[in-house]
Chain A
């Protein structure tokens, strides 16, 4: 059972545009929502994370928007650059499950120059 649904599976954005990736979850026991960036052949790297008591978090060009009532959260990449081309994974953590993360299916982002 996929507990975190991520969309779209792939995304093409022009340089300078805004990339938006969405995730939805069902389990209200999730208490921490990180986003990871993964380049081919590399491990995922933490990009930004949010807790459900906050509706938005911004770090540089990356912003997480969180809608607790809708059980949805999204990653916005402003002024997208070709170097942002990677696979992005949202994740959710169960507080009482040993800090295990449940990952979304991933979004392959391509930023065209």
Chain B
């Protein structure tokens, strides 16, 4: 199956700093990428949909100024958590859809801990 990578796999930062998470589709081009957040023992919560070359579409309740998304190429989307606070600590997962537009392939996730 298609491979999606995320970097870093885990990050610890101080409150108030910004953290950038990269999501790459390694062996296919992805016009659409999604960013999810997952709390322990819970399901995936969609944060935003990222389309290459256009602005991301955010789900209700997700602050677009806090979670900046850039999808600069067909293989890379980035999520920047700005001025991170402890309540932003979570598991962030991206996914990508190939050009056929059906299957979502998920990255391995990024564990963010804000102290």
Contact = CB atoms under 8 A, between A and B. Distances in A.
Interface of A: 32, 34, 36, 41-46, 49, 89, 98-101, 103-106, 108
Given A46-B1, A98-B49, A103 B43 contact: yes
B93 to A, nearest CB: 5
12 contacts: A34-B104, A41-B91, A42-B108, A43-B6, A43-B107, A43-B109, A44-B44, A49-B103, A98-B32, A99-B32, A101-B46, A108-B41
Nearest to B91: A41
Interface residues of B, number: 27
Nearest to A49: B103
A101 B97 CA distance: 11
B61 interface: no
A41 B102 CA distance: 25
A43 B6 CA distance: 10
